[in-house]
Amino acid sequence: MNLREKAVKGVFWTGVQNWGSNLATTIVLLILARLLGVRTFGLVALASVFIAFLQIFQRQGLAQAVVQRTDLKPGHLSAAFWISVASGVVLTVVGIAAADPVAFVLARWQPKPINVALLASVIRWLSLSFVIAALGNTPQAILRRNLAFKSLAMRSLAASLVGGIVGVAMALYGFGVWSLVGQRLTSALAGTITLWMACRWWPGIAVSTRHFRDLFGFGVYLMGNEVVAFFNRRLPDLLIGAFLGTVALGYYTVGFRLLLTMRRLFTQSISGVALPTFSRLQHDYAQMGQALLTATSMTSLLAVPAFLGMAVLAPELVVGLIGQKWTPSVPIMQILAFIGVVQSVTFFNTPVITACGKPSWNLGLGLVNAVANVVVLTIALPWGIVVVAAAFVIRGYAFAPLPLFVVRKLIGLSIRRYLRQLIAPAAGSLAMVVFVYTAKRALAEALNLHALLVVCVLLGVLIYTLVIHLIAPGRLRKAVEYVRLALPSASPASK
């Protein structure tokens, strides 16, 4: 298969992975949201801030360096594996040792008392994930580099299924907060085991300093970018948990996690393929630019109507799926849906910059974004979680043009052609929102909540498809062409 066919089939299998895993994760989230309390989610979310921060230092950007490097040697892989394992062991020890003081500090920031001993125990157990993940980082990078996305998809589905079963079973037997911990650890362990089953590779015993320097020289900037991205991603959680409490954080977390699940459905299906594909095109900027336009076009065709539809149907989605007690999450979800649009559309600028060998540029962009995030969210915090969500969205739209101008400088991308990809999805989504909102108001008294959701979703899909067919029929034909190319039965002989 040529690179185009490999990439499209990679998108298909990554889509299977993400849609299947996120569907399983969402179902488990909905079940656990009904079985567990708001404070339980808030407590684990608070512990996860510290765990996610330490995870940054586990990878050192080595996996991305393995994927991007053109002259990869066996010594590079062995160095990446053993350094990753060593980092995992060290971070597990650090997480366990720091659990008590970290829990104490986090508890001191809470407006209401929380169980410090329980928070510390959660941090200690979640720290085991460092060792588990470290064992699978290099096999996963090898599979990504080789575009073996079918194996990655099977691994992710198995891990999500096993973790979800364990989490729900524990919740039913009254384990409370440990249901969420058990779900995460089991999922991580199952994922690592299946990675080794799929990757036919074993590391060498020796670690070459030269090979490590080759990877680390590139990966250190990626690690720095992950540090900055962590603060950008987790800062709202930290500030809300510290100043507004675990209840507010619980509402924000559920609203944001439903949004995050949606975003992953529409970006990760392509993002997992983006870096290895762009890396193979790193010496052909014209083809790289075309690949970026294609990724943006196909993603916006799905993501823009999905997020705007989510905004208009948020009250019905929240109450119908997880219950009336989560109603305060509705305005958060509606507001954050708009950041989902811009994040999905601009997602692929970062892997293009990395594939061009400029991870330091991504780090600079991340620092600018982080400073803006701190300023905006600090100003918004006294006004409550809804204003925090709105500030997060405003900052996202203000920052979005910067990476685009960097991509233009690197590969000569036409910004006009880039923006043209968004016109049809925006117009179709606007028409869809008007029809769906009108139908929702008209049918609210005649249908129960779940029937109303089904009718509105089907109506939205119909209206959006008709509008796109009228104003941009070529986009639909192109999407169908890629679907046919992606299907496992498709082959060069059949085309």
Does residue 338 fall inside a structural domain?
Answer: yes
State pLDDT tens for residues 343-387: 888 888 888 888 877 878 888 888 888 888 888 878 888 887 788
Mean pLDDT value across residues 451-474: 89
What is d(CA 298, CA 486) in angstroms, rounded to the nearest whole number?
13
Q: What is the dihedral of CA 393, 394, 396, 398, to 10 degrees?
A: 170
Considering only CA atoms, which of 382, 377, 386, 262 is closest in space to residue 327? 386
Residue 481 belongs to a domain? no
Q: Cα separation of 343 and 407, whole Å? A: 16
Residue 445's SS3 state is: coil
SS3 call for 397: helix
**pLDDT tier at 493, thresholds 50, 70, 90:** very low
Q: In Å, how far from its chain's centre is CA 328?
A: 23
Asked whether residue 445 is assigned to any structural domain, the reply reads no
| Mean of the per-residue pLDDT values of the chain | 79
Token code pair at residue 68: 């991007």
- Check pLDDT > 60 for residue 492: no
Distance (Å, rounded) from C-alpha 487 to C-alpha 394? Answer: 39
* CA gap 449, 447 in Å, rounded: 6
Residue 94 counted as domain residue: yes
pLDDT tens digit string along 74-101? 777 777 788 888 888 999 999 999 999 9
Q: Is residue 175 part of a domain?
A: yes
Does 50 map to a domain? Answer: yes
Cα(372)–Cα(387) distance, integer angstroms: 16
Write the single-letter amino acid at 99. A
Helix pair angle (385-399, 246-280), 10° resolution: 20
Which residue type occupies 219? G
Instruction: Quickly list DSSP for 54-111.
Output: HHHHHHTTHHHHHHH-SS--HHHHHHHHHHHHHHHHHHHHHHHHHHHHHHHHHHHT-S
Structure tokens at 106: 């986090």
Query: 400 near 346, Cβ under 8 Å?
Result: yes
- 412 band by pLDDT with thresholds 50, 70 and 90: confident
Reported as a pLDDT band with limits 50, 70 and 90, residue 24 is confident
Which of 48-57, 243-252, 362-371, 404-413 comes out lowest in average pLDDT?
243-252
Token duo for residue 96 = 């366990």
**Res 267: pLDDT:** 65
Q: Would residue 446 count as lying in a domain?
A: no
| DSSP count for the chain of H helices, then E strands | 21, 0
- Total count of domains within the chain: 1
Domain that holds residue 390: 3-421
Give which of 313, 331, 335, 344 is closest to 425, Cα–Cα: 344
303 Cβ contact list (under 8 Å, min separation 6) = 263, 266, 267, 340, 341, 344, 345, 425
Residue owning tokens 């991504």:
362
Using a cut of 0.75, tell me whether the model's pTM lies above it: no
Residues above pLDDT 90, as percent of the chain: 12
d(CA 228, CA 239): 16
**Rg of the chain, C-alpha, whole Å:** 22
CA distance 45 to 234: 10
Residue 12 lies inside a defined structural domain of this protein = yes
